[in-house]
Structure 1
Amino acid sequence: MKDLFEYYQDQPENLKKICDKWSEKINEGLTYKDCELFLNEVENIGYTFDYELSAEPFNLRIMDFERHEDDFNGLLTGDFNEEDINNKPPKKNYTGLTFGLPASTPTHINLFLKGELIERVELWNTNNTGQQVRNKLKRERKRLELKLNNLKKTTT
């Protein structure tokens, strides 16, 4: 994938505006904190880049959530179902949570009770940053686990 810092002409307008805003500061030299602020701005529109201790940004690209796969370790427990597009449980009469993982990043959580889809929560869309997806995953997983526990109690 090409580095959009090097291919400025291929940047979409919203990305160009952010890069233009930071261009003078980049030429003067960024601090590590500047890189964090700059990165936050581009991540908010679905792009990302890398930087090291030199605080020189490189490899500007569209956000690839697979790179953030490790960020989800410990948050995902349950059945992983890469093909649950039809909202089908992984097993007949399944009770629990499934996570849609088409690209190693959770896109949604399904809550099943005895094989029936009770609720589906979308986690990601093109306006979300990786951090927003992680936060929503934490929040919704807790909520759905509580709901599942209550449903189990009332149906047994």
Structure 2
Amino acid sequence: MMFNFLRRQSALQIYIAAYDRGLDANGNQKPDHWAIIITKSLSHPGTAHHVIHGHPLFEYRHRDDVYVLKSQSLSHVLHVGKVYEKDVAKLEALFASLEVDNVNRGWNCQDWVIDAMKKIEKMKSVTLERGIKMEWLKELVKKASDGRDI
């Protein structure tokens, strides 16, 4: 007789990480680079989902083996939700399907993350933290701790 044990679903955490990009040629602060990170925890490697380059060459890219807390340019990290491992492929398909705006010069990686979060908000397979309001996202990321909130 065989026993069929149900394996408990493993949840992965979803974070928005903001990275300091330094100063431009005129000495003005560049906007932070934002990425969505999916990982077991901030002490484990995860996958970063973001747009890279700049106008007119923005493109979506994912990068595995990202250690968020080991980045010297990390300025903030905000826990926004969780997703079960079985549903990560749906989330990654959503990221790959998002429009990248290489026309509007005001558009950047932060806008891509906000667009992604608005779509994630509608996914039944993702549980968002209570109190995450998409219209407040820029302020929430800036108010996140010193980037080390585990």
TM-score, normalising length: structure 1 = 0.26
Compare the two structures and name the one with the higher helix fraction. Answer: 1
The structure that has the greater radius of gyration is 1
Compare the two structures and name the one with the higher strand fraction. Answer: 2
Give the structure, 1 or 2, with the largest relative contact order (CA under 8 Å, sep 6 or more).
Answer: 2
TM-score, normalising length: structure 2 = 0.27
